[in-house]
Amino acid sequence: MKKIFIGLSAIFILVLGLASCDSEYVKYSGPDYIMFSDTLSVLPVQNNEEYFDITVSATEACDYDRTLGVEIIDKKSNAVEGEHYALEANTVTIKAGEYLANVRVRGIYDNISVADSLGFVLHLVTGKESQWDIYGIETKVVLQKVCPFDINLFSGYAVIISTYFNSYMKNVSQRLIRTEVDTKEENTIILKDYFYKGYDLKVKFTTDDLLNPLIEMEDQRFAYTPDAFNTIYGDGYIWAYQAGAYLSYYSSCEKFIFQYMTLHVPGMPAGKDEVGTYVNAVRWISDDEAQKLIEEGVNNSLK
C-alpha cells in the first residue's frame, strides 16, 4: 500500500489553473519553479521490494522533458543509502506537458529496527532560477518499519498493565490473561476475563493504513460494580468504551496494544455516570514467560 504525500505546493499548482509554457489559455506568468511537493514524508518499510513515490512539482508544464539530479545530503541524514534504503535512480524527469514526477524510494526491511529513528534528506539539483524560497528544493524522508499484520500474533498469553490498577486494584501491578481470535468478527480478538473474572472484552484491529495501526472497541460490559466498588451503583454494571479523544493503537512488530479506555455506569444521574479514562498496555508473551509469571504469583485470570 503506497503512502504518497502531496503538500500545499501541489495544491497551489492546481489553483494556478493548470498553466502551460505554451498554453493558449490564461497562464501563470511567474517563473518556472521546481520543488518537492512536501518537506516531509514518512514511508512504511515492509518486507517486500515495493518502491514509494516522493513527488516533485513544477509551476509550469513545458513542451520538453526536464531532468534533474537528486542528491543525498549526508550531514542531514542518519539513514545510509544502500544499507537502510535505496533510490531507484539519482535523477528525476518531469515529462513534456506534465507538472509532476516522482523520486522512487524503498526501505531495506531487514536492516531497520522498529525502534530506529532513521531518515535522510533529498536535494534537487536545479538552477537558481528554478528554486522557490517558499518551498525549497529539499525534503526529509523518514523510514518507519512496518511488520506484516497477523491476527494470530495477538492470541495466547498476554500481560496487562493499567492506570486503573492504581485506583481500584491497588495490590495489582500487572495481570496475566489469555486471548483468542474471534471466529465471527474479522480482525478481532477476545480478551478473556480482561480485568475481572467473567467479563471478556473484544478489540478490533484496523489494517487499512500501514502508518496508523489503530484499534477499535465498542461499548461493552467491563465489570460488576460490587467487584470494583464494593457496592451496587446504577444498573449494577461498569461499561467500557474506547476514549475517542486519544489514539489507541497496536504494534505487530512488538506484539502489544496501547489503549485509552473510558468507564461509565449506566443508570447513574447525568454527570455522575463516568468513572474515568484509563490507559492500558497489553503485551503478548510466550507460554514459558506466562508459566514463570504464574509461578511467581502474578495476578492472573487463570485461577
Last residue of a domain, one of 145, 170, 191: 145
Quick one: pLDDT at residue 168? 95
Question: Do 195 and 88 fall into the same domain?
Answer: no
In a domain, 251, yes or no: yes
68 domain residue, yes or no: yes
- Shared domain check, 156 and 133: no
11 has pLDDT over 70: no
Q: Which domain holds residue 117?
A: 8-145
Q: Residue 68 CB: number of other CB atoms within 10 A?
A: 20
Same domain, 117 and 171: no
Residue 3 lies in a domain: no
Regarding whether 131 and 55 lie in a shared domain, the answer is yes
Inside any domain, residue 62: yes
pLDDT tier, 32 (very low <50, low <70, confident <90, very high otherwise): confident
- In this structure, the answer to whether residues 175 and 203 fall within a common structural domain is yes
300 versus 199: the higher-pLDDT residue is 199
pLDDT at position 270 is 86
In tens, the pLDDT along 156-167 reads 999 999 999 999
- Residue where the block lists cell 466498588: 229
- Same domain, residue pair 192 and 260: yes
Higher-scoring residue by pLDDT: 1, 106: 106
Select from 99, 122, 145 the last residue of a domain. 145
15: buried, middle or exposed (CB in 10 Å: 19+, 13-18, 0-12)? exposed
Domain end, chosen from 120, 145, 170, is at 145
- pLDDT tier at 19, thresholds 50, 70, 90: very low
In a shared domain, residues 53 and 96: yes
CB half-sphere exposure, 8, CA atoms < 13 A: 4
Identify the pLDDT of residue 225.
Answer: 97
Question: Quick one: pLDDT band at residue 30, thresholds 50, 70, 90?
Answer: low
Which of 31-40, 67-76, 123-132 has the highest average model confidence (pLDDT)? 67-76
Cβ-contact 36, 87 below 8 angstroms: no
Compute the average pLDDT of residues 18-45: 69
Structural domains in the chain (count): 2
Q: pLDDT tens across 113-127, in order? A: 999 999 999 999 988
Q: Which CATH number goes with the domain that contains 39? A: 2.60.40.1740
> What does pTM read for this prediction?
0.81
